[in-house]
Structure 1
Amino acid sequence: MAGAYKTPGVYIVEKNAFPNSVVEVATAVPAFIGYTQVAELKGSPLHKKPWRITSLAEFKNAFGGAPLDQFEFAENTDANTPNDFKSGATGYVLKRKNSKLDTQRYYLYRSLQLFFQNGGGPCYIVSVGGYAAEPDIKKSDLLEGIDLLLKEQEPTMVVIPDAMALSADEAIAVQQATLLHCGAQMKNRFAVLDIHDGFRERDTADPVAAFRSDLGTTALNYGAAYYPWLNTSIVETADVGFDSFVDRTKLKDLLVAELTAAGTLSDDLKDILNQVGDVNRDASQKTYLSDDELHKILFSVVPTYANILLAMKRKLNLLPPAAAMAGVYTLVDNARGVWKAPANVSLASVISPAVNITHQQQEDLNVTTAGKSVNAIRSFIGEGTLVWGARTLDGNSLDWRYINVRRTMIMIEESLRLATKAYVFEPNVSGTWVTIKGMANNFLTSVWKRGGLAGASPEDAFSVSVGLNETMTPEDILEGILRVTILVAVSRPAEFIEITFQQQMQKS
């Protein structure tokens, strides 16, 4: 200003010609909560500390590898339970070591593999405990893990695979806390939920009905659930072996009895099986084979041994779908944008859904009087396994029925909130109002051009209002309040496409 000049001369004054730009926030940064082998990076502890990673290799460096899942087997005495494998004419079932529940296992590591296989990228890991010989997954640990995310700004999704190892009541409590965290506390995150026991059919013990009945009604538009679980190809044959057996002596006795009955137990094979049962043998001695050598021989020459390992692999490959869906969200966001519904997308490393769903059976999943829509994962001939639903749990809401609408609004709200922080304590006058309005208009125009907003023109897609007697009263200004009103028409998916056919009269 002229009054500030004291010495004659030429002074250069630069003025900004353009308002601040709005930087679009990340939309696909999930936070995974669960148990890991270790939690340490270069001597720094990471236990109960949210940590950002970008690949499975980084996860292994900081949190270790897969848990050791051990199985024991017993004769199948229940005619309604299918056999996991047979030895001779006798059927057997596999059960995890001292398992309190059929689902009692650590899911996080395998779920992370599924996440990255399906397009996952940067994410946060919250390790709430280490592996134990007998899985001991606690609701309190997982709830504490959710609270640890309150101070983190970047995560946009929350996924808790290990909640599926809890009882149904405890799992629902964790999921309710997740929805509360996303929709009531942070209001800028989306919960991707699994259905407890979602590998079961919807018969007398309907897992979907139990989920809907117990979930409650809080913050439903901030979450989505998927059914059924997935038969994956994440665990390979090389990932199971002698270490997967609780009792190797029992395995030896089973194979010896079968081969003896069949008359195929040679002296060489008998010696190999004796070594299988002798866990204290010194493999450095020439007369002994290593575990790896024993495993390869038995896998190739004893079909029952191979069948047991394949049955173990099938059980370990049964995984809840939420982590895969977090990967799909990331893939779709990066390729098309957060406004594209994360549906009609094939799942990688998935063999089939655990339950086949028909068109009629999906009707109740998608539309229900309770409004708690559950998205189906279905198998289609020639197309593989597809995500065939795009609804939030608030399925009766016209505002928040669709996942992409909710997540697009989160992105727009967060982007503009962070951008307008620069104007806190600025003069509440027309100059500031015009600047904020221009900044918002430029950002929303960019979103509209990329297909995020519906309308033939920007004027049809959104409007930004700010000003005295428009969004504010004189009292608002005296109280230091600057109000901005933004209306947006978020694009919605074409969930139902109707093609009408009608016969017409012959014309020639």
Structure 2
Amino acid sequence: MKTPGVYVKEQSASPNLVVEAATAVPAFIGYTQIAKIGDMSLLNKPVKVNSLTEFNHYFGYAPSPKFELKEGDAQDFTISLEGVDNEVVYCVLKRKDRYSLYYNLRLFFANGGGYCYIVSVGNYDDELSKDQFISGIDTLLEEQEPTMVLVPEAVNLENKQDCFDIQTAVLKHCGMIMRNRFAILDIYNGYKDIKDEDVVSEFREAIGTEFLGFGATYYPWLSTSIVSDEEIDFCNIDKESWGRLKELLNAGYPHLSQYINGIDETKYGKLEFNEINTINKVLRNHSKFYADILSAIKLQLNLLPPGAAMAGIYTLVDNAKEVWKAPANIGLSNVIGPVVNISHAAQEDLNVPINGKAVNPIRYFVGEGVKVWGARTLDGNSLDWRYINVRRTMIMLEESIKNAIKTYVFDANNANTWGSVRSMINNFLNSIWMRGGLTGAAPHDAFSVHIGLGETMTAEDILDGIMRVSVLVALVRPAEFIEITFQQQMQKS
């Protein structure tokens, strides 16, 4: 002070605050109709979207799936036609493309999903590629906000090993490279009953043994109501199959020939919306065979893996009950039911296998509907990281404290700084404990923060510029098994 006068000096009375990190921000990697804003390409760039409408603006709409119609023996997705002389013709529908990210996003938003990140790795003219999916995972390295990673179209790859390679890459990304996000994986061919084909064991063997505490999976796939009747018409049948279908329809329903033959090869795929709607309505209402074909197409499109729905459930639970609530015993929306019914006995191996790679079942309960009935990570043999909510809570605590403590980088490594750090973390953990995120009758039972010379650091650490902080927390674990004991007692009066 060189000039006489009054000088005001403000001094902070409170330590810095720890801002709680976001917990429910999934990143979806897959194929979209477009990927651009204006003239700028968004391909292989993580883009944050807040709704399906915003997704449409950047990435377009649903694919126009084409199905091939083949005559064959009765099997899955088979439609029969009683033609001339009551002859039964079996037709098998096979989907020619495998794009499903858009439908998975619908399922995500329907089950409570909020904002998310989209990484478009190609468009509907490209073939699904393992390398493209893995390169999409790498684009998330520079993004700090996502807390979940999903590649729902990986299960659509023809080579199942490619799917497993992608899933192990996602686990590595979450558990080794970033260590601040969680992988939600789907089981390849998860619509099949394990009694017929043990797809669960295949998944467990292929997923490896590393970073299992950073991922979870669910079984079986879901029969949903995401795609409606109005979205399916004869345009979903490929041009080559339409010629044969016309023959079958004309043979079984000659009175509809005006409408059937009105769709000739020159007009196929070029009709106006009103023409398509009129013809489709007439054929659907008067031809059971045609209606069965459209129903089979809708059934296939609505058969979705549960990962995207679970990302929505995680978001819903985090927003309504906090991240430390296990995302289980929750009903699913826009879901008709699981495609495989799982009994109490069948769940035993899914939930508590010898190798610890737990698979969380989705089950139907009479009078209650479809519910998520498991809350375990793939690391079920670990007492520390067995439960999804425990891992995700720890990720939130680590990220929140790590981001807050950056303020003290290059500050003096002395008692004043240590006291500020301890006070800041204590205040944050106390607020988490008061909200039920840590377990203990009193704060000192729920957490403790250690920092200082002789406590977490040596004199050599201080000379090396290292400040060590040790945080102990008692996390909330779910009541997974509830046992009620009944015993008769002697009459007392």
Give the TM-score normalised by structure 2.
0.96
Q: Is 2:321 aligned against 1:300?
A: no
Give how far 1:282 is off.
Answer: 12
SS in 2 for 1:153: coil
Give how far 1:281 is off.
Answer: 7.9
Within 2, Cα distance between the matches of 1:218 and 1:82? 36
Match in the other structure for 2:212: 220
Within 1, Cα distance between the matches of 2:6 and 2:23? 49
Give how far 1:214 is off.
Answer: 1.1
Q: Is 2:166 aligned against 1:181?
A: no
Letter in 1 for 2:129: K
Match in the other structure for 1:273: 260
Within 2, Cα distance between the matches of 1:251 and 1:426? 76
Match in the other structure for 1:146: 137
Confirm or deny: 8 A CA contact 1:32 1:160 kept in the other structure. yes
Within 1, Cα distance between the matches of 2:467 and 2:267? 76
| Match among 109, 115, 123 for residue 130 of structure 1 | 123
Q: 1:429 to 1:215 in 2, by over 3 A?
A: same
| Match among 234, 241, 246 for residue 242 of structure 1 | 234
Confirm or deny: 8 A CA contact 1:76 1:83 kept in the other structure. no
Confirm or deny: 8 A CA contact 1:378 1:388 kept in the other structure. yes
Within 2, Cα distance between the matches of 1:505 and 1:54? 63
Letter in 1 for 2:44: K
Q: Deviations over 1:239-263 (max 9, x none)?
A: 111210113222211111112xxxx
Within 2, Cα distance between the matches of 1:284 and 1:127? 30
Within 1, Cα distance between the matches of 2:218 and 2:140? 23
Moved more, 275-284 or 395-404: 275-284
Confirm or deny: 8 A CA contact 2:35 2:41 kept in the other structure. yes
Moved more, 38-47 or 384-393: 38-47
Confirm or deny: 8 A CA contact 2:235 2:269 kept in the other structure. no
Match in the other structure for 1:100: none
Letter in 1 for 2:177: Q
| Match among 106, 110, 122 for residue 113 of structure 1 | 106
Match in the other structure for 1:354: 339
Within 1, Cα distance between the matches of 2:306 and 2:271? 44
Confirm or deny: 8 A CA contact 2:224 2:304 kept in the other structure. yes
Within 1, Cα distance between the matches of 2:457 and 2:271? 84
SS in 2 for 1:203: coil
Give how far 1:284 is off.
Answer: 9.3
Match in the other structure for 2:247: 253
Match in the other structure for 1:34: 30
Confirm or deny: 8 A CA contact 1:248 1:277 kept in the other structure. no
SS in 2 for 1:290: helix
Equivalent positions of 1:325-364 (< 5 A) are 325-364=310-349
Match in the other structure for 1:315: 300
Give unmatched runs, 5+ long, in structure 1.
98-103, 260-264
Letter in 1 for 2:127: D
Match in the other structure for 2:85: none
Q: Percent identity?
A: 55
Within 1, Cα distance between the matches of 2:51 and 2:428? 31
Match in the other structure for 1:206: 198
Confirm or deny: 8 A CA contact 1:283 1:290 kept in the other structure. no
Within 1, Cα distance between the matches of 2:107 and 2:24? 16
Q: Is 2:433 aligned against 1:441?
A: no
Give how far 1:7 is off.
Answer: 1.3
Q: 1:472 to 1:282 in 2, by over 3 A?
A: closer
Q: Is 2:487 aligned against 1:487?
A: no
Give the TM-score normalised by structure 1.
0.93
Within 1, Cα distance between the matches of 2:271 and 2:458? 87
Confirm or deny: 8 A CA contact 1:400 1:406 kept in the other structure. yes
Within 1, Cα distance between the matches of 2:67 and 2:278? 21
Match in the other structure for 1:402: 387
Q: 1:83 to 1:43 in 2, by over 3 A?
A: closer
Confirm or deny: 8 A CA contact 1:231 1:352 kept in the other structure. yes
Letter in 2 for 1:461: A
**Matched positions, count:** 484
Q: Is 2:61 aligned against 1:61?
A: no
Q: Is 2:67 aligned against 1:71?
A: yes
Confirm or deny: 8 A CA contact 1:83 1:91 kept in the other structure. no
Within 2, Cα distance between the matches of 1:6 and 1:25? 46
Equivalent positions of 1:472-483 (< 5 A) are 472-483=457-468
Letter in 1 for 2:16: N
Q: 1:305 to 1:145 in 2, by over 3 A?
A: same
Give how far 1:82 is off.
Answer: 4.2
Within 2, Cα distance between the matches of 1:43 and 1:21? 42
Confirm or deny: 8 A CA contact 2:77 2:296 kept in the other structure. no
Letter in 2 for 1:270: S
Give how far 1:8 is off.
Answer: 1.4
Within 2, Cα distance between the matches of 1:366 and 1:168? 23
Give how far 1:91 is off.
Answer: 2.7
Q: Is 2:47 aligned against 1:51?
A: yes
Letter in 2 for 1:92: C
Letter in 2 for 1:158: V
Match in the other structure for 2:149: 158
Within 2, Cα distance between the matches of 1:182 and 1:282? 44
Within 1, Cα distance between the matches of 2:267 and 2:339? 40
Give how far 1:388 is off.
Answer: 0.4
Q: Is 2:373 aligned against 1:380?
A: no
Within 1, Cα distance between the matches of 2:364 and 2:139? 37
Q: Deviations over 1:310-355 (max 9, x none)?
A: 1110011000110000000000000010000000000100000011
SS in 1 for 2:456: coil
Match in the other structure for 1:93: 92
Q: Deviations over 1:395-421 (max 9, x none)?
A: 000000000000000000000000000
Equivalent positions of 1:418-433 (< 5 A) are 418-433=403-418
Within 2, Cα distance between the matches of 1:277 and 1:71? 18
Give how far 1:83 is off.
Answer: 5.4
Confirm or deny: 8 A CA contact 1:379 1:386 kept in the other structure. yes
Confirm or deny: 8 A CA contact 1:249 1:276 kept in the other structure. no
Letter in 1 for 2:181: R
SS in 2 for 1:185: helix
